[in-house]
Each structure stands twice: as C-alpha cells, then as structure tokens.
C-alpha cells in the first residue's frame, strides 16, 4: 500500500507542478485534526481542493464533487493511523463500531451513488457550506448534548449509522460532527466518543469512495488519473502526509486543552464555509 501511494504521489508531482507543497501541507493538517478532534479533515480539505481544481481548469460544479470525493478517500488513511493511537490507549469502543457499521454502509451508498450523483455541484457546495457553518457554531460554543440515555438497540444503531453515513457522503466528512455528539448523548465518555468516531471513519470512507468511483466513472471533464470522482494524485499525496501526523493529533487530544483549539478551528471553518457558499451561489 505504501508503495502504491508513493507511486501515485510521484504521478501528482509529474502531472501537476502545484501539487507537492499544497497537497502535502493539507495532508499534514488534516491528519493532525483527525487525531486531535476525531474528524476526518474533509471540512478543511474540500474547499482547498475546489480551489486547486478550478484554478487548473476543472469546471466548478465537477470540482466540488471531486473535492468532496477525494477528501473522503483520504479519511480511510487518516482513520487507520489515528485509531491505532487511540486503540493503544484503550479508548475505542469496538462493539459500538461494529454495530454502527452496517447502517453506515447503507447510508453511505445511498448518498454516494444516489443523491450525490444526482445533485448539481452547486447544490452540494451549498449543503457543504451550511453543514460546516452549523458545525463551526457547535464547536465554537462547545455545546455538548446532555447525557440522557444509553445506546439504543440494534435497529436504532442501524438507523443512526445510516444517518451518519448518508450525511458524511453528502459533504465528504468523516462523520465526527454527528457521531461524537450522538455517542456523548448516549453516555459514552467524550474521549471514547472521539476515539470511536475516528474508528468509524474507515467504514464511512470506504463505502462512500466505492460509490463515488462507480457513480462518477466515465464522467466528461475528469482530469487525468481520476477514478470516478476521486482524484488519485491528490488522494495519494495527502494520504502519505496525513498518516504521519494523525498519531500526533491523537496524542495531543489527551494532553492539550482542546476547548480553546476548537474555537480557533471554528473561526477557520466559518471562512471555509463562506468560500463554499460563494462557490455554490456562483453556480446558479
């Protein structure tokens, strides 16, 4: 796998002169955020990938779809690296992961092969902007749902997994802004909720990426080295760097005052949401 990623990263350098530094930096940042906050980094990656793709000639609506799909692909790699560090601390609730995974698969496929493929890129940009803006507000205010109940039975977990997988597939995020509050609401301790959310990133990413590849296969206007809506050079370059910093983020999550960092990150998210809102409105 590492050899394959290295080959794809080389393709990125040879094919696009802009790729190495920006994509590597994006990978380093998204990997750290995945470990620190239990998110996949898609909310940071997507706007920057849209900017890179449109700057180099990809139609704006298609660029939005490719950015969402490619950022989702990187989550598969960051989640592996991040969850390893969390698992070593005994924080991952694997029983919850296995019970949510079937619903996640169904919801992700419904999004990536259904709604995502049918909606215009402009609409997806607006959905992304609203989701990120809402998530930023929740993060800035540090709102946590009151622990009110235990985890539901299997049918309830299947439904919750379906909602997490569907929403993640529509916005290219790892689901942390949905799964962490849900788990906290169900009396799962916050550190375990973050760690378990990181573990859920892998089934979320894999199931959605399969749908993105199938639904985007043969689409007109795709840049070279694309598999459906997934842009392989960017995926490889970002993934190689993100796996290096995800363990550092997971370690920092147990040592740093996360609340002030969340507020700083929320301000960045507001700027990124504004950019995606602009991109969406430009498409009408």
pTM assigned to the model:
0.80
**For residue 13, what pLDDT band results from cuts at 50, 70 and 90?**
very low
**For residue 17, what pLDDT band results from cuts at 50, 70 and 90?**
very low
DSSP 8-state assignment for residue 225: S
Q: What is the pLDDT of residue 100?
A: 92
Domain spans of the chain, in order of start: 2-279
Which residues, in sequence order, are CB contacts of 250 under 8 Å at separation 6+?
35, 36, 82, 85, 86, 89, 195, 198
More confident: 50 or 264: 50
pLDDT at 66 over 80: yes
Q: What is the mean pLDDT of the chain?
A: 80
170-226: pLDDT as tens digits:
887 776 777 877 887 888 887 788 788 888 888 888 999 999 999 999 888 898 889
Contact 283, 63 (CB under 8 A): no
């Amino acid at each position: 796998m590492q050899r394959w990623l290295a080959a794809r990263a080389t393709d990125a350098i040879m094919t696009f002169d802009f790729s190495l530094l920006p994509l590597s930096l994006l990978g380093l940042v998204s990997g750290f955020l995945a470990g620190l906050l239990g998110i996949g980094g898609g909310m940071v990656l997507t706007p920057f990938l849209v900017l890179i793709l449109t700057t180099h000639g990809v139609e704006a609506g298609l660029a939005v779809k490719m950015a969402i799909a490619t950022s989702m692909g990187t989550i598969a790699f960051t989640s592996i690296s991040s969850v390893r560090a969390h698992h070593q601390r005994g924080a991952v609730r694997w029983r919850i992961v296995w019970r949510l995974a079937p619903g996640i698969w169904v919801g992700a496929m419904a999004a990536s092969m259904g709604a995502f493929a049918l909606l215009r890129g402009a609409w997806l940009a607006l959905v992304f902007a609203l989701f990120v803006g809402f998530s930023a507000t929740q993060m800035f205010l540090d709102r946590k749902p009151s622990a009110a109940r235990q985890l539901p039975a299997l049918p309830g977990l299947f439904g919750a997994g379906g909602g997490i997988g569907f929403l993640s597939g529509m916005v290219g995020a790892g689901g942390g802004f949905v799964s962490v509050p849900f788990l906290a609401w169900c009396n799962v301790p916050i550190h375990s909720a973050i760690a378990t959310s990181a573990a859920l990133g892998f089934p979320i990413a894999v199931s959605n990426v399969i749908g993105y590849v199938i639904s985007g296969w043969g689409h007109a206007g795709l840049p070279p080295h694309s598999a459906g809506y997934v842009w392989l050079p960017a995926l490889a370059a970002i993934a190689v760097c993100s796996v290096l910093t995800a363990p550092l983020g997971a370690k920092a999550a147990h040592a740093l005052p996360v609340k002030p960092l969340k507020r700083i990150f929320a301000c960045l998210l507001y700027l990124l949401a504004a950019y995606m809102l602009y991109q969406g409105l430009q498409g009408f």
